[in-house]
Amino acid sequence: MEGLMDFVGTKDLKVYVKTHEVDDYIKVLGKQSVFEVPENLVGLGAIRRFLVDQHRDEDWFVILDDDTRGIMYRFDDKMIDITDGDHFRAILQNSEQIAEDLGTPIFTYDASLNPSLYTQMDIVSFSGNVPSCHGIIPRLLGDINYDSRLIVMNDYDIALQCKYYRRYLFIDKRYNLKWSNKWFNKGGLSTLRTRALLEKMNRILLQKYGPQVIKFAPKKVKCHINFPF
């Protein structure tokens, strides 16, 4: 959490934690920055649906994991770390304006790992998955919202909903978020992400979108998404 605050600062920052964690976070951040997530909400789908409902009146907001450490600019001959919070906020605001102009409610970042693959025409995408960091414009959501059944893999679902209702979402491929080594950290969903759970989530997605969109082989842990439109 400290690394995220060092990066983005505390202006307009809201930290959502489970009920039993609230007092500990208030000691560090103060009451004005700490908000409660009900204990009965399990999984990212339910929690993020709750966040959307809490911020329906906002012009826009951004969901950030607490292990976010910066953002990386990749559209160059080298990878450039951006660790200045004001610069990061300016990037977010620019992306929000583009999404607003396009009339789509979700904007995000997903750069290729290899900057040598870029051409001058490969800086944005209007289809694809939604990583952990993404912005939401509530008034453009309509019927789009997180599926509370999806403990994990809710990012695939929200991207597919956005494609279904709005035909596209906005992905700026010049940037990619930086995180700590979250896959090796205890806590969060690491204890829930079992093979059985992933298979169950795959089947929910398959039921929602059908075999032309969700390519799921039971022997594989993760499904493949064919983004339509």
Question: β-strand 106-109 against 134-136: which pairing, if any?
Answer: antiparallel
Q: Which tens digit of pLDDT belongs to each residue from 42-83? A: 899 999 999 999 999 999 999 988 777 788 887 766 778 888
Q: Identify whether 93 is part of a domain.
A: yes
The values of phi and psi at residue 168, to 5°, are -160, 165
Q: Which tens digit of pLDDT belongs to each residue from 157-195? A: 999 999 889 988 898 888 888 876 554 455 555 556 788
What is the number of alpha carbons within 13 Å of residue 45 lying toward its C-beta? Answer: 18
Containing structural domain, residue 55: 41-181
Q: Identify whether 66 is part of a domain.
A: yes
- Exposure string for 135-149, b = 16+ CB within 10 A, e = fewer: bbbbebbeebbbbbe
CB 105 within 8 A of CB 141: yes
Q: Identify whether 1 is part of a domain.
A: no
* DSSP collapsed to 3 states, 123-150: CEECCCCCCCCEEECHHHCCCCCCCCCC
Q: Identify whether 188 is part of a domain.
A: no
Q: Identify whether 219 is part of a domain.
A: no
Q: Identify whether 161 is part of a domain.
A: yes
Q: Identify whether 14 is part of a domain.
A: no
Calculate mean pLDDT across residues 143-167: 92
Question: β-strand 106-109 against 170-172: which pairing, if any?
Answer: parallel
Sequence length of the chain is: 229
What is the number of alpha carbons within 13 Å of residue 196 lying toward its C-beta? Answer: 2
| Amino acid symbol at 67 | D
* pLDDT higher than 90, residue 116: no
Q: Distance from first CA to last CA of the chain, Å, rounded?
A: 38
Confidence of residue 127 (pLDDT cuts 50, 70, 90): confident
Q: Identify whether 213 is part of a domain.
A: no
Rounded distance between C-alpha atoms, residue 44 and residue 62, angstroms: 15
Number of compact structural domains in the chain: 1
Q: Which residue has the higher pLDDT, 189 or 196?
A: 196
Rounded distance between C-alpha atoms, residue 7 and residue 27, angstroms: 20
Q: What is the mean pLDDT of the chain?
A: 84
Q: Which residue is listed with tokens 């893999």?
A: 153
SS3 label, residue 40: coil
